[in-house]
Amino acid sequence: MGADMKELLAYAKDLNKLDAMPDEVVDRIEARMKARELKQRIADVHTMSGEEIKAMRDRYGMSQSVLAHTLGMSKESVSKWERNEIKPSRPALRILNTISEKGPEVFIS
């Protein structure tokens, strides 16, 4: 979170105490600051080759069917990724990255 945003929030809160700034504006500034901070903490999506997807799947003992189920995708899509016929979408890559880093257990409730 940048110093400018912190200063803006402090200034908005000071004005709010003087009834010169509505609560809603202060709340919006705080929400934007939290969103910006969260965005900075979320890891970038990394592309994965078919070989990397298969190696990750093997590392966790997952069949193509289980990985497909975890992703909400078809087994055929996983198979095509692993053969480098098609590339996973960014949302699918986000889930693949998460499984690769934290294991499939992260999706078990």
> What residue segments make up the domains of the chain, in order of their start?
3-41, 50-107
Give domain 50-107's CATH number out of 3.40.395.10, 3.30.70.100, 1.10.167.10, 1.10.260.40.
1.10.260.40
How confident is the model at residue 1, as a pLDDT?
53
How confident is the model at residue 99, as a pLDDT?
96
DSSP letter at 107 equals: G
Mean pLDDT, the chain, rounded, equals: 93
Q: What is the mean pLDDT of residues 48-60?
A: 97
Q: What is the pLDDT of residues 60-103, one digit of tens each?
A: 999 999 999 999 999 999 999 999 999 999 999 999 999 999 99
Torsion, Cα 31 93 52 61, to 10 degrees, reads 90
In this prediction the pTM is 0.68
Q: Please give the sequence-ordered ranges of beta strands (E in DSSP) within the chain, or none if there are none.
A: none
Q: What is the mean pLDDT of residues 31-55?
A: 92
